[in-house]
Chain A
Amino acid sequence: EDQVTQSPEALRLQEGESSSLNCSYTVSGLRGLFWYRQDPGKGPEFLFTLYSAGEEKEKERLKATLTKKESFLHITAPKPEDSATYLCAVQDPHRNQFYFGTGTSLTVIP
């Protein structure tokens, strides 16, 4: 079964229009939830790691939050340069595997 599910698959926003991306996970004993940004044809770029429910981290216009079963990536007043695919990933400590979601493709229109 899918360990990580991201929604929506694609999101189009007007510049300045804030929104949130969702990442839900099913692994138990979470040891870290990761957010990455990926531009076309490039490797993922690390954004945040969250380790426990209630934790929040911010970077420029991005804020990541974590609950027991999901994480949100909030984008405040986005700019066109924020357009990218945003990926989340979790570790399954029981199988020593690492799972990525399929990502949310964000387009910010000027």
Chain B
Amino acid sequence: ETGVTQSPTHLIKTRGQQVTLRCSSQSGHNTVSWYQQALGQGPQFIFQYYREEENGRGNFPPRFSGLQFPNYSSELNVNALELDDSALYLCASSLGGQLNTEAFFGQGTRLTVV
């Protein structure tokens, strides 16, 4: 167990809707990153938050947004859902704000857009 928990585990949404996914970081970790993993692919980096500020972003449109709270838990929000947004969404927590430290992943949220 990594101590990183995500909710919900599964979710079905309709195209055009909005969704919020949640992540609770490992105790003591001040950095959280989010990834999208399509079936059969490696995780794609969405963004990273360090001390409530975004400090790294991958090639995802602005309709993917996030928040990190003072207790270092985090949310991923996706607006105007598209069918291609169907994927496993992973969050990972780490320490120090740098991308080159080991990150510990949660079990993911499986999002299906219909």
Contacts and interface: CB of A to CB of B under 8 A. Distances in A.
Interface in A19-51: 31-32, 34, 36, 41-46, 49, 51
- Majority secondary structure, B binding face: loop
Interface residues of B, number: 28
Interface in A38-96: 41-46, 49, 51, 87, 89, 91, 93, 96
B44 interface: yes
Contact of B45 (A51, A99, A101): A99
A96 B57 CA distance: 7
A87 B43 contact: yes
B100 A43 contact: no
Contacts, number: 69
A103 B55 contact: no
A31 B99 CA distance: 8
Contacts of A89: 42-43
B107 interface: yes
Interface in B48-66: 48, 55-58
B43 A49 contact: no
B99 A96 contact: yes
Contacts of A49: 100-102
A102 B43 CA distance: 8
Contacts of A103: 42
A93 B102 CA distance: 15
A8 to B, nearest CB: 14
A43 B99 contact: no
Given A43-B106, A45-B105, A96-B99, 11 more contacts: A42-B108, A43-B107, A44-B43, A46-B104, A87-B43, A96-B56, A97-B56, A98-B56, A100-B35, A100-B43, A102-B40
